[in-house]
Amino acid sequence: MRFLICFLILIVSPVFSSKAQEAESLEIRANACEKAIEGESSSSTRIRAVDKAVFLGLKNLSIFDQDKENMDDYDLNVMIYRILDEYVEDLSSKVTKSNEDKVCVQIEGYVNPSKINIVREEFKKNLQGSNNSNEEVFDIVQNVNEEIKVSPKNVEELALVYVDDLVYYNGSKSKKYANILKQKIENNSYYYLTEEKELADYVITPKILKAKVDLLDKDHKRLQVVLVLEVSGITQDILPVTQNRFLLFSAEESEQHIADRLIKKLLEAASSEAVRQIEIKETAKLEQNTLGRIL
């Protein structure tokens, strides 16, 4: 009898262990529909519908009740999308309706609460660290200034920078955003802007690689923009400075206005790094020239 009990324990224990592990994960179940877009494949419409359903399924979990009380809807949605992108497991979906107008899906999946807590803590730290104190800003400026130790003495030492038109993913171009970029990077002590591309030491070509709007629900949309500044002249190859952002906004807001605002922000963020790389390269050249004259 004792042998039989031990044998049963050996058999049943793994089952109990497996059930305990399963209990750690939360089940996600949701339905969603997406309107078909002219020229879009049905598979793309289905992907958008699945994305929307998973988002809604996550947001409806009771584990986020406290977050809904402490966070505004925008920040909560951003956090949930981070979880959606990285931590949803065993996701399955099936089409419940499909015609020329829309695609509807039903999804099932799981998410581990420990993963939600990881993202929640990281998100809190990012929010707390997003507003630098005056002392932190001063330290950042000091660190940058320490990297750039040599400045041009006269105009002959200044480099020439040419800014090309912004190129969209469909091949069209925009002088408007090129001019905005010029305004952000002009008046620099290491270079001045030129309108002669052939004479330039550095050429900056801004490009929009992706601009996509998804309808999340009847009240919210999500815009994703991927922008890159291709900088030639720093290395033998083109140096890409990339910015990729999501922006959640009200369905009542103008998509064009929201996209314009986000592109300007990405241009500002990318231009800071592009300028920094040019300044570092020019500093190295000036140091080398100074050393040559001394020797």
The per-residue pLDDT for 36 is 85
The per-residue pLDDT for 7 is 38
The per-residue pLDDT for 136 is 52
The per-residue pLDDT for 133 is 47
- 226, two tokens: 């991927």
**190 pLDDT exceeds 70?**
yes
Strand partners, 89: 110
Runs of H (alpha helix) within 71-174: 73-87, 113-129, 134-147
Q: What are residue 177's phi and psi, to 5 degrees?
A: -75, -25
The per-residue pLDDT for 5 is 40
Residue 124 confidence class, pLDDT cut points 50, 70, 90: confident
Report the predicted TM-score, pTM, of the whole model to 2 decimal places.
Answer: 0.53
Mean pLDDT, range 10-24, rounded to an integer: 42
Please check whether residue 221 is in contact with residue 251, taking contact to mean a CB–CB distance below 8 angstroms: yes
Name residue 269's amino acid: A
Please check whether residue 246 is in contact with residue 287, taking contact to mean a CB–CB distance below 8 angstroms: no
Q: Which of 98-102, 134-138, 197-201 bottoms out in mean pLDDT, i.e. has the lowest? A: 134-138
Strand bridging mode 159-163 / 166-167: unpaired
Encode pLDDT of 245-284 as tens digits.
888 888 888 888 889 999 999 999 899 899 999 998 998 8
- Please state, for a pLDDT cut of 90, what percent of the chain lies above it: 36
Residue bearing tokens 């494949």: 41
Residues contacting residue 51 through CB under 8 Å, at least 6 positions apart: 84, 214
Q: How far is CA 43 from CA 34, 89, 109, 146, in A?
A: 11, 21, 20, 52
- 83, two tokens: 């979880």
Top CATH class, 156-294: alpha beta
Distance from chain centroid for Cα 191: 30
Indicate the domain borders of the chain. Answer: 22-127, 156-294
**292 pLDDT exceeds 80?**
no
- 227, two tokens: 């922008």
Which of 64-71's residues contact partners 24+ apart within 8 Å by CB, and which partners?
A: 67/120
CATH architecture of 22-127: 2-Layer Sandwich (3.30)
